Amino acid sequence: MAARLFGTDGVRGAYGSVLSVDLALAIGRAASQLADAERPRALIIRDTRESGPVLEAGLAAGVAAAGGDVLLGGVLPTPAAPMLLSQYGFDLAFVVSASHNPFGDNGIKIFGSDGDKISDAAEDAIEDLIASGDFSEPSHPGRIDQLRGAFEDYIRGLEQRYVDLDLTGMRILLDCANGATSAAAPEICRRLGADVDSIHDQPDGRNINENCGSTHVELLAEQVAGKGWDAAFAFDGDGDRVLAVDGSGAIVDGDDLLLLLSGYLQENGALAGGVAVTVMANYGLHGALSEAEVEVAITPVGDRHVLAALRERGWRIGGEQSGHIIDLELGPCGDGIAVALLSLEALAGAPLVERPLLERLPQRLVNVRIRDRNQFASNIELAEIIERESAALEGRGRLLVRASGTQPLIRVMAEAPTQDEAEAVCQLVAGEIAQRLGE
């Protein structure tokens, strides 16, 4: 059976091998042919990778070949897609991005007319149509044009949401990961009155996520400590994630931000239920939310699972330790810039160092690169080792081992009463995986 094209967040992989112009064209054509519109209108935006323009062109050609019309929005954060989709009434929106992956990777995310990422069933239908090659031939080609003013539309949407947020007097540092937030994040913060400095905001097509942004937030922490910043924020390449650093240089991850935001929303009667978190959330967050009498829903890793939990329960906010936080008042996917602004709103002029502190269980995470992540699920010896180590931590901590949905990695996470024990368990299990399945 052929490997599935779509992973946990669209199609993603190395440009030129996993992801090609031909595949982009086929995806654009199939998605448009299957869209619930006689002549579908599609938006395409992208991040700053050097392969972005050519994949954008392939997607646009595919949509036009199916008789659809395309508007190109240029470089914008991923959350701009559902915002603009709703504003302009598009039938589809495509985002060309590999998010936090290295520059050599790229990806395609697809949003439907409802503003959500398309369902598994819709992805399967696209894959089936590509595999069959049973494309229809429209009587005329579609049109391809620029969506002028798309950047300003996105900024204006944020400005309208935070019209009462006054950041005058606040010193903020932004790490834009040389990605899609490089222009947008500093612009909206300045419009709201902040004294803003930004770094890694000069994308060259190859420096996206390179030793910068949310995947290297520890480097930002080294620059911030004791320098007088009220807060610093680090985005990923496509801008759907954000992590932070306070003025002391302490890293503020997604769990910390969820504690801050849920407390703020609860205090103002705007929480609308509980908080959805993934299995990666630190147990300390569970304890803090329980103490605050906030209900918690636990989901598998992935923003679509968090979104499904929020929708099912009618709740407002949830997210991941990685900084991918969904606030349904802002939109149906993570928006790193909007979450940073909501965090500043919650602080009400105070520096980030004054946030509620999260008492964490010591945690260690190790990524193991393997040949084929599909072999992991069928390895009985590894399953026995993981079960044994999990049992040893029961009641005191936990062990979580899972395959990445977007890369050939197995992620091993251990929480234990001490950092040394968490490290030892993590290294033991990671070593066994590397020995059996490693490259």
Annotated active-site positions, please?
Answer: 99
CA 124, CA 147: separation in Å to the nearest integer? Answer: 29
User: Which stretch of DSSP H or E encloses residue 78?
Assistant: none
- Looking up tokens 């802002």 gives 330
CA 128, CA 26: separation in Å to the nearest integer? Answer: 11
Provide the residue count of the chain.
439
DSSP 216: G
- Residues 6 or more apart from 85 whose CB is under 8 A from it? 43, 92, 93, 111, 113, 115
Token pair in block for residue 106:
């790229």
Token pair in block for residue 389:
């180590």
Helix, strand, or coil (residue 438): strand
- Residues 6 or more apart from 28 whose CB is under 8 A from it? 42, 58, 59, 60, 61, 62, 63, 65, 66, 94
- Looking up tokens 């398309």 gives 118
Helix, strand, or coil (residue 209): coil
CA 149, CA 13: separation in Å to the nearest integer? Answer: 30
